[in-house]
């Protein structure tokens, strides 16, 4: 089983480490893929036979957390911020989560809030999850929003996670997550992505995180 590095955002990290200016990208995956967390164990978190049978690629991301399935129905929000030193991971998570929640609200998605360490939730059901990598000179944050993904692929390719936030209460993938199409009526993923990108003001986030 070959595991590839999740290198799709490496160019942003390169820009930030060189220019010391925050960068952001909002995009949807071009194809369906399985992504492991930095410390994920494939034999524990993945249904490897089903993934192999369907010929999906498996990647390992920079940040932590458990394995996820990404398909073109997801919207990925990636932010890389210049920083110095280490620590304050919870503060960064909180600040960026509130910034993203505000952007969702301004894009027509009301009622979202942060739960667990890095989940975004509406009415006790997960609409997105995030990971972070904290290095001496940058902070990398990437969130996947469930706009209109195929939830059945989670059941098909992922085991029940070995770790879960308390609010999940052992629910299956299908019972635990909900799409923005279902809960907020988001109809067109491209229009939503464009609107969200315009409402995520990177200057505000940069100013807020510079005080951490």
Q: 29-83: per-residue pLDDT in tens?
A: 999 999 999 999 999 999 999 999 999 999 999 999 999 999 999 999 999 999 9
First to last CA, the chain: 41
Structural domain 3-209, CATH architecture: 2-Layer Sandwich (3.30)
* pLDDT recorded at residue 102: 97
The pLDDT-based confidence of 193 (bands split at 50, 70, 90) is very high
Q: Which string of DSSP letters, residue by residue, matches 100-157?
A: HHHHHHHTT--S-EEETTTEEEETTEEEEEEEEEE-SSEEEEEEEEESS--THHHHHH
**Residue whose token pair is 């667990």:** 116
Is residue 84 predicted with pLDDT exceeding 90? no
The pair of structure tokens assigned to 141 is 């944050």
Cα–Cα distance, 202 to 174 (Å, whole number)? 33
The mean pLDDT value for 147-164 works out to 97
């Amino acid at each position: 089983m070959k595991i590839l590095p999740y290198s799709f955002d490496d160019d942003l990290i390169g820009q930030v480490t060189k220019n010391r200016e925050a960068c952001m990208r909002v995009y949807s995956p071009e194809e369906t893929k399985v992504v492991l967390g930095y410390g994920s164990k494939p034999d524990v978190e993945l249904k490897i036979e089903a993934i192999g049978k369907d010929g999906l690629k498996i990647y390992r991301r920079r940040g932590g957390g458990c394995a996820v399935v990404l398909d073109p129905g997801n919207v990925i929000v990636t932010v890389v911020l210049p920083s110095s030193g280490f620590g304050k991971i919870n503060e960064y998570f909180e600040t960026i989560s509130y910034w993203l929640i505000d952007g969702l609200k301004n894009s027509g998605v009301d009622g979202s809030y942060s739960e667990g360490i890095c989940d975004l939730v509406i009415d006790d059901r997960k609409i997105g999850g995030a990971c972070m990598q904290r290095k001496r000179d940058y902070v990398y944050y990437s969130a996947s929003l469930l706009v209109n993904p195929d939830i059945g692929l989670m059941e098909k390719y992922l085991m029940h996670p070995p770790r879960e936030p308390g609010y999940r209460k052992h629910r299956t993938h299908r019972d635990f997550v909900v799409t923005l199409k279902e809960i907020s009526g988001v109809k067109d993923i491209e229009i939503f992505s464009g609107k969200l990108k315009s409402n995520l003001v990177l200057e505000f986030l940069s100013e807020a995180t510079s005080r951490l």
